[in-house]
Structure 1
Amino acid sequence: MEFQNRLYDLRKRSGLSQEELANLVGVTRQAVQKWEAGTSRPDMDNLTALARYFNVTLDWLITGHEMESCAAAQNGPVVVENHYHYNSWHYEYKSKCTVFGLPLVHINLAQRGFCVARGVVAIGNVSVGALSIGVFALGGITVGAFGMGLLALAGMALGLLAMGGIALGYVAVGGCAFGYLAIGGSSVGIYAAGGAAMARDVAVGSAATADLLAIGQDARAAMTMGLSDTREAIFQAIGQTGAPDWIRSVLMFCIGR
């Protein structure tokens, strides 16, 4: 049996796709495809990673047989030392309980590559789930460096409610926020509140620019107000723009009234 056949059998017995094995080792799917087709061979680091993951010896993986001791043919004992420097790690857990065919919990993390976790609760380098945590997270509630979901909490967040360094959503809260209602250091939206706010209807902030109403120290709009104006006057002015009651409440909260 050739190397490519041994690798194929090991992968199939482990229930892995070529893409999943590639993620574990930290290579592309095309590289695994070439290994199994016999058109290329993995380097020593990748061979070591494969042997460790499948719990086989490196000698068996390469040659198909175990090393035979040659001590009997020598005048003295022979000590063979193999030093493999393998710093990568991988951890995966998949619960047996499933919901609509998806595991209730799927954790798939690795130091190298992008391991995909798919489950109701998904935690991985790349995660997809109702509750999704990962570098790249997609789902109902997402937490990660890059998140997309109904509720997204991430460095870069996209969602119905998005919160992050850069947030884009119906309601967006972040350092830079873009949305129907945007709240942040720099905010742009139909309604916006923040240090620098730009809005179509109502902008609230130190520097506020809007088409209809701007409230702030430096306010520019068809109608302007200062932060020192009374609560009743500001509340009434926002209402005149046609803003929904919940928008008025949020903007008043941002003003501190």
Structure 2
Amino acid sequence: MSQRLKLYVSEVMAGIDADPITKGRIAEDLLTSLTERAERSSVERVLAESGAPWEMAKDYMNGLYGAEAGPGYADNEAPYYGYDPVSGDYYEYKSPLTVFDLPLVHIKFRRRGWFFGGAPAVAKGIIAIGDVALGVFAVGGVAAGGISIGGLSAGLL
């Protein structure tokens, strides 16, 4: 099994917001499908035909919640405490109210930071709080926005 296929699947999974069981099934099915296709063709060709990881993640999200769902879909009104096998335990909350396709409030933290092998938890919203926060009001370890507070921050204030 190709490491490139595994990396592609992990990048796709980073763009999918679902419970860990659903994400596990999607990852397993996607990896199996890509591996079968790579046996008949080259890995490079399979990856080129599959498109960018974020596009595939968007397609899966549309399949899970419908194309009209957009940000703030499904059960995201409640905070989610979960485990992501790639980057460890995390907490996430997205408000159902959106402004310009961004949630009004997005909070996302990981127990293990990216310095310890995990992926950074990026919060994007009008009010963003997280390991990495991007928003009009941003608070986090790395923060960028109109008003930002953080260890490393960039903004108007």
TM interval, short-chain normalised:
0.3 to 0.5
Structure number having the greater helix percentage: 2
Higher strand fraction (1 or 2): 1
**RCO higher in structure (CA 8 A, sep ≥6):** 2
Largest Rg, 1 or 2: 1
Tell me the TM-score normalized by structure 1: 0.24
TM-score by length of 2: 0.36
